[in-house]
């Protein structure tokens, strides 16, 4: 746990940003992750007063405030009907309901954790992050950016027509995933995102032509799994070896692809 | 700093250190059902309700409860006793240490979903760990409690 001398519930994003420029201060989302470390902090910066704990939806997109909890996303009807339940599937295995009532999407995405289910899922969607200073950038670009002291204000998900599916493998219920796979089809391409490699999630985009269109759905799904296993690097950690992860990729991507296949 | 909240129906106004965890605040105010079973947000033993929603009080700053309603097992005695009798009937527990967090989260489940199936029960309670049992007794206890409720809650 961290200790702090001051707790500040900020009134504006500018105030939060100014405070966050100091290394001795700490911005918290749900604080579930930062609590695991030990630090002496000057000021804890809390965004709960900025009404950023909401999911707004219009014809074009979802705008998800950074303080929205994982549980809110998991239960959101619009997000789940758009993704055919894939959002819920990517979140419901994370620890427990009480945990997900605390953990925020802002902390989850800003943290860019290798094991992240939700980062893996959002990468396979037409998603962007809105940074206070950095503006709107595609999530796929944000993932590989060096960490700075900006503030993630919202996640934007465009409602590009598509199909989505999510699968993960865990050694035990509520553990981190050993491998996470999200597969989607939109803008006439397959998007395969693999997380818990164990490194940060990576996205592979495959135009339909580059795999053989003559194949049956089943054959195509199998070949997409094999293609992903060849092109996305994986490693070994205590949850599984690289060789095991390559096998998991083939199986999970095949299943997710079948689930997300347009009829 | 100043903290104003409602704890089990009683308004409180207190001076707290800014890094006080809600769990420690609650225990200092006599809510000894709230326990720390882990240090990693994994076990669910510290579960309390914030405005009716279950949260982990070990991972929540007391300062953030300002202006909110906090409920612990101490504030739900009757509801809890009724349900806990069904767990006891199954001899589900051994040491019983996990019980307060488990009962709190089960009550949260029944409020959100009064008629859950087995899968929904398992999913909702996945974040409540028990080191002694295999969860089977608890599951039977929950199912017989729900059955009893459906039949009108009479003995
Ligand atoms: C025990 C445990 C098990 C977990 N298991 C899983 C799992 O199986 N799958 C999974 O996907 N995830 C898992 N997680 C991660 C979890 O889901 C969250 O992603 C994580 O806790 C971060 O969210 P938070 O709201 O707690 O962020 P915090 O811990 O508050 O913050 C995380 C980091 O992001 C920064 N930050 C927070 N909000 C913002 C913002 N708006 N702008 C800029 N920076 C910000 C903080 O300064 C901090 O550096 C687990 C975490 C724990 C502690
Ligand atoms: S004490 Fe274990 S989750 Fe809070
Ligand atoms: S009965 Fe001992 S931890 Fe659950």
Encode pLDDT of B57-98 as tens digits. Answer: 999 999 999 999 999 999 999 999 999 999 999 999 999 999
Q: Which chain B residues are within 8 Å of A32, Cβ to Cβ?
A: 41, 56, 59
Nearest-by-Cβ selection for A96 from B44, B50, B53: B44
Token readout for A29 is 């989302």
Nearest-by-Cβ selection for A98 from B44, B61, B63: B44
| Candidate from A29, A106, A119 with most ligand 1 atoms within 8 A of CB, to mutate | A29
Encode pLDDT of B105-137 as tens digits. Answer: 999 999 999 999 999 999 999 999 999 999 999
Lowest mean pLDDT among A14-18, A209-213, A257-261, B135-139: A209-213
pLDDT of A209 reads 61
For A182, residues 6+ apart whose C-beta sits below 8 A from its C-beta are A86, A90, A120, A121, A123, A124, A164, A165, A166, A191, A192, A193, A195, A256
CATH of the domain at A203: 3.30.390.50
Rounded-to-integer distance, Cα A160 and Cα A80, Å: 14
Section A229-258 average pLDDT: 98
Residues A93 and A147 in one domain: yes
pLDDT of B39 reads 82
First to last CA, chain A: 50
In short, whether A178's Cβ falls inside 6 Å of ligand 1 is no
Residues A33 and A105 in one domain: no
Q: Could you give the 3-state DSSP secondary structure of residue A255?
A: helix
| Candidate from B38, B101, B130 with most ligand 3 atoms within 8 A of CB, to mutate | B130
Ligand nearest to the CA of A92: 1
Alpha helices by DSSP H, listed for chain A, are: 13-20, 70-75, 77-82, 86-91, 97-100, 105-111, 117-123, 139-142, 217-231, 242-260
pLDDT of B33 reads 97
List, in order of start, the domains of chain B with CATH numbers.
Answer: 2-74 (3.10.20.30), 76-150 (1.10.150.120)
Q: Which chain B residues are within 8 Å of A95, Cβ to Cβ?
A: 41-42, 126-127
Q: Which chain B residues are within 8 Å of A36, Cβ to Cβ?
A: 40-41
pLDDT of A81 reads 98
Domain closes at, from A158, A174, A190: A158
Residue A213 has pLDDT above 90, yes or no: no
CATH of the domain at A77: 3.30.465.10
Rounded-to-integer distance, Cα B155 and Cα B134, Å: 28
| Beta-sheet pairing, B47-50 with B53-56 | antiparallel
* Residue ranges of E strands in chain B: 2-7, 10-15, 47-50, 53-56, 69-71
Residues A57 and A152 in one domain: yes
Token readout for B93 is 């527990």
pLDDT of A263 reads 65
Mean pLDDT over all residues of chain A?
Answer: 96
For A32, A99, B53, B122, the CA distances from A102, given in Å and listed in that order, are: 7, 5, 10, 20
Q: Which chain A residues are within 8 Å of B35, Cβ to Cβ?
A: none
Choose among A46, A99, A41: nearest CA to B54.
A99
Section A106-117 average pLDDT: 98
Residues A153 and A173 in one domain: no
pLDDT of A251 reads 98
Encode pLDDT of B39-61 as tens digits. Answer: 899 999 999 999 999 999 999 99
Residues A32 and A107 in one domain: no
Point out the ligand 1 atom lying closest to the alpha carbon of residue A32. Answer: 26
Residues A74 and A107 in one domain: yes
Number of domains in chain A: 3
Residue-number span of the structural domain to which A154 is assigned = 53-158
Residue A166 contacts residue A181 (beta carbons within 8 Å): yes
What stretch of H or E contains A171? none
Nearest-by-Cβ selection for A101 from B18, B53, B63: B53
Q: Which long-range contacts (CB under 8 A, 24 or more apart) does A74-82 make?
A: A74/A100, A79/A55, A79/A157, A82/A159, A82/A164
Residues A146 and A57 in one domain: yes
Section A92-97 average pLDDT: 98
Interchain contact, B59 vs A32, CB within 8 Å? yes
Domain closes at, from A158, A179, A203: A158
Section B23-27 average pLDDT: 98
Residue B56 contacts residue A98 (beta carbons within 8 Å): yes
First to last CA, chain B: 49
Residue A185, Cβ density class (10 Å: 0-12 exposed, 13-18 middle, ≥19 buried): buried
Question: What are the φ/ψ torsions at residue A8 (nearest 5 degrees)?
Answer: -125, 115
CA A96 to chain centre: 17
Residues A66 and A152 in one domain: yes
CA A184 to chain centre: 14
Interface test with A, best of B65, B109, B127 (most A CBs within 10 A): B127
Residues A60 and A150 in one domain: yes
ipTM over cut 0.95: yes
Encode pLDDT of A144-162 as tens digits. Answer: 999 999 999 999 999 999 9
Rounded-to-integer distance, Cα B73 and Cα B78, Å: 10
């Amino acid at each position: 746990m961290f200790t702090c001398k001051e707790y500040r519930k900020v009134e504006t994003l500018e105030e939060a940003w100014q405070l966050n420029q100091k290394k001795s201060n700490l911005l918290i989302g749900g604080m579930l992750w930062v609590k695991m470390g030990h630090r002496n902090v000057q000021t804890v910066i809390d965004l709960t007063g900025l009404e950023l704990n909401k999911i707004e939806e219009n014809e074009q997109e979802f705008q998800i405030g950074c303080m929205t909890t994982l549980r809110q996303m998991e239960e959101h009807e619009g997000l789940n009907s758009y993704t055919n339940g894939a959002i819920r599937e990517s979140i419901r295995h994370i620890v427990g309901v009480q945990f997900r009532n605390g953990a925020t999407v802002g902390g989850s995405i800003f943290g860019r954790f290798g094991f992240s289910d939700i980062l893996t899922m959002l990468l396979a969607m037409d998603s962007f992050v809105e940074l206070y200073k950095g503006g709107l950038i595609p999530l796929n670009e944000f993932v590989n950016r060096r960490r700075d002291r900006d503030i993630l204000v919202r996640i934007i998900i465009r409602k590009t027509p598509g199909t989505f599916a999510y699968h993960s493998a865990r050694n035990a219920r509520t553990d981190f995933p050993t491998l996470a796979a999200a597969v989607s089809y939109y803008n006439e391409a397959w998007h395969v995102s693999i997380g818990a490699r164990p490194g940060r999630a990576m996205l592979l985009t495959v135009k339909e032509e580059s795999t053989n269109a003559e194949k049956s759905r089943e054959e195509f799904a199998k070949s997409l799994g094999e293609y992903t296993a060849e092109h996305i690097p994986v490693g070994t950690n205590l949850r599984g070896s690289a060789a095991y992860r390559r096998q998991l990729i083939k199986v999970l991507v095949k299943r997710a692809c079948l689930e997300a296949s347009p009829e | 700093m100043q903290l104003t909240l409602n704890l089990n129906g009683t308004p409180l106004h207190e001076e707290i250190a800014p890094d006080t965890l809600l769990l420690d605040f609650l225990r200092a105010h006599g809510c000894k059902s709230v326990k720390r079973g882990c240090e990693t947000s994994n076990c669910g033993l510290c579960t309390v309700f914030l405005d009716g929603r279950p949260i982990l009080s070990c991972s929540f700053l007391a300062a953030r409860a300002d202006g909110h309603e906090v409920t612990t097992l101490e504030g739900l005695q009757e509801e809890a006793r009724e349900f806990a009798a069904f767990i006891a009937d199954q001899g589900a527990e051994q040491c019983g240490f996990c019980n307060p967090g488990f009962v709190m989260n089960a009550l949260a489940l029944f409020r959100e979903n009064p008629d859950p199936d087995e899968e929904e029960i398992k999913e909702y309670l996945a974040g409540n760990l028990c080191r002694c049992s295999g969860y089977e007794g608890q599951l039977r206890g929950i199912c017989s409690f729900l059955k009893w409720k459906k039949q009108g809650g009479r003995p």
